[in-house]
Structure 1
């Protein structure tokens, strides 16, 4: 079903249009048959009347909002967000539950607030360590993180507070004692890391690289950057990107629902207004607001698409270098680089889809503005 605020305005607009055209009865259409992605109906599938045009843009907005929540539910974002999204999708209240979840102070914001809980942060930290520290390079850290995940809240807090650093020292001592694992860092590799500290597209990777080549750093610091620091920074960059675009898109869809409802109401009032010129100006303004909002969203997504493309290309280069390099330190980054290349390519594709949706929303809103002028 459509969101309540839009559906109410749309139902009135449909009824008023039917009365004006001499139709005996009119019923607000419903948005049944959800599409798997936020793709609006082709123009050929949309009838010429204003009620049909309102129905089409409303259904597209409602479908896109639900699709956005579904993407978050299936994403790699923290479990608090994914679980909350699934709860909204499974609600028997349909699109009303989706609208409330997207509303400021609603389900999404509540889930974000739970992320700030110390227990959630500690679990997330342990999970990230398991994902980014391999058994071959950091066996002590990996084992300690896995034990913490299987343990209690106190175990995870202890790992974050002191356990990680202690296990890290044991791993470093073992590598230093075992000649087979002692890695000499070539000057060109150190220079490569130094360049990354300035030029890498990821903020957290730049920070990790900068720490590895800080004044007084040793070969062990650079080896650890290749062993887990690079992968850890990359994981943080990817999660930060996903959270940022999720935050922005949740706000955009909430505002889109409100703006379309306002435009539908203004168009309804135009049909019976005593001051037609004033009502027409208001209807034009509300549809223009929808178009401007959608165009702003499209511009933002094009920028995100460019950022994701830069990351994907960077990781493709890293993966290739790691496969071709004869230096042993590079073998530690091959698998993470290939995984991140795939992740960022997927983000790039999703950004393109989102930009296309918002372009269509802007086009339809401009059609609405043109329609109420006549």
Structure 2
């Protein structure tokens, strides 16, 4: 096998680590978020932008509970169903809570299975439970629903566990390199486990199952973190825009004696909204760069796999790598579209601030795309 180094993977940041933190933004004003954003977002329709996000959740969210709820909002006859779904306390947060409960239940079943079986007494159940414990949410759910029973049936028939042939040293070296420079936190962790255990079976398990599963976990974590990040910014910006609109109205209604003070307050409110939009746009540029690095890394895996010649199933690995690279390329496109959207919001809010008396338009330049 030719040597191959995955050092570009070190470009990836810790934002791919699987952390789902509940968003608890409590808006002081209950004006719908789509109405607030529509006031500063330019000619495009705010509901369409929120519909695009809900459609993304319906198509790509790793949690079937969120996917189902998102589709229900999309096909609903209620005019506000899409924006209600994304509002605090709405359908997304309820579906997320259900998904969290189900994930906790699945994790408990799997952990109990591991603790109550051994590789000697129930080899297939024990092996597949360990495999599922590191899997995606969908893999865990599938294992609890059907996979555990299938493994139990195989153990009952005394089906032998497949023994791996001696793994080539080149393959061990490759896994060791992935453990250091792999494309994401979950992939690196999977490779590290294989290297630490270091048996032929563990190396084979990595190539046959763990690598692809860990890649799915990295993508899953990225997408789930993205929606939490996005909604937190949207909810916060909606509040700031409402406050800015109120300050703008107060300025317009103020007496001549109070006009200058009211203008300064309105200008500050619009500038705060603009700064928040700029920070959001910057975060989307960072997400775009991270996704692009992942897409490139997996393309390199594909290119390596098509020429590799050890005993691993390299054609399947190449296909998986190509699919994963394509998924990350989709994330690049999504991040680009979101960065453009938030740039437009920033520019509109900044224009509102600059239109007020006493403004200095050169103080806060537009974020760089």
- Fold match (TM-score > 0.5): yes
2:89 maps to 1:105: yes
Does the aligned pair in 1 maintain the 2:183–2:298 contact within 8 Å? no
Q: 1:155 to 1:341 in 2, by over 3 A?
A: closer
How far 1:368 moved relative to its partner? 0.8
2:308 maps to 1:308: no
How far 1:292 moved relative to its partner? 1.0
In the alignment, which residue of structure 1 is the partner of 2:305?
Answer: 322
Q: 1:244 to 1:9 in 2, by over 3 A?
A: closer
Q: 1:62 to 1:76 in 2, by over 3 A?
A: closer
How far 1:207 moved relative to its partner? 1.0
Q: 1:200 to 1:56 in 2, by over 3 A?
A: closer
Q: Distance in 2 between matches of 1:86 and 1:223?
A: 39
How far 1:184 moved relative to its partner? 3.4
How far 1:291 moved relative to its partner? 0.8
How far 1:340 moved relative to its partner? 0.3
In the alignment, which residue of structure 2 is the partner of 1:281?
Answer: 264
Which of the residues 191, 198, 212 maps onto 1:209? 191
Secondary structure in 1 matching 2:211:
helix
Q: Distance in 1 between matches of 2:335 and 2:352?
A: 26
Where does the alignment leave 5 or more consecutive residues of structure 1 unmatched? Answer: 11-30, 32-53, 127-137, 146-152, 177-181
Q: 1:356 to 1:69 in 2, by over 3 A?
A: same
How far 1:82 moved relative to its partner? 1.5
In the alignment, which residue of structure 2 is the partner of 1:185?
Answer: 167
Q: Distance in 2 between matches of 1:355 and 1:364?
A: 14
In the alignment, which residue of structure 2 is the partner of 1:67?
Answer: 52
Secondary structure in 2 matching 1:94:
coil
State how many pairs are aligned.
300
**Deviation string for 1:240-260 (max 9, x for gaps)?**
111000111122222222222
**Deviation string for 1:109-147 (max 9, x for gaps)?**
111110122378649x99xxxxxxxxxxx9x969xx9xx
How far 1:317 moved relative to its partner? 0.7
Q: 1:367 to 1:299 in 2, by over 3 A?
A: same
Q: Distance in 2 between matches of 1:349 and 1:59?
A: 19
Structure 1 vs Structure 2 CA RMSD: 3.6
Larger Rg: 1
Q: Distance in 2 between matches of 1:329 and 1:172?
A: 23
2:278 maps to 1:295: yes
Q: 1:120 to 1:91 in 2, by over 3 A?
A: farther
Q: 1:197 to 1:165 in 2, by over 3 A?
A: farther
Does the aligned pair in 2 maintain the 1:104–1:251 contact within 8 Å? no
In the alignment, which residue of structure 2 is the partner of 1:267?
Answer: 248
**Deviation string for 1:81-105 (max 9, x for gaps)?**
112222333444424x444322333
Higher relative contact order (CA 8 A, sep 6+): 2
In the alignment, which residue of structure 2 is the partner of 1:175?
Answer: 162
Does the aligned pair in 1 maintain the 2:266–2:353 contact within 8 Å? yes
How far 1:174 moved relative to its partner? 4.9
How far 1:223 moved relative to its partner? 1.1
How far 1:373 moved relative to its partner? 2.7
Q: How does 1:346-365 map to 2 (within 5 A)?
A: 346-365=330-349
Secondary structure in 1 matching 2:309:
coil
Q: Distance in 2 between matches of 1:341 and 1:334?
A: 10
Q: How does 1:85-164 map to 2 (within 5 A)?
A: 85-95=70-80, 97-118=81-102, 122=106, 156=144, 159=147
Q: Which has the larger helix fraction?
A: 1
Q: Distance in 1 between matches of 2:216 and 2:328?
A: 11
Q: 1:278 to 1:323 in 2, by over 3 A?
A: same
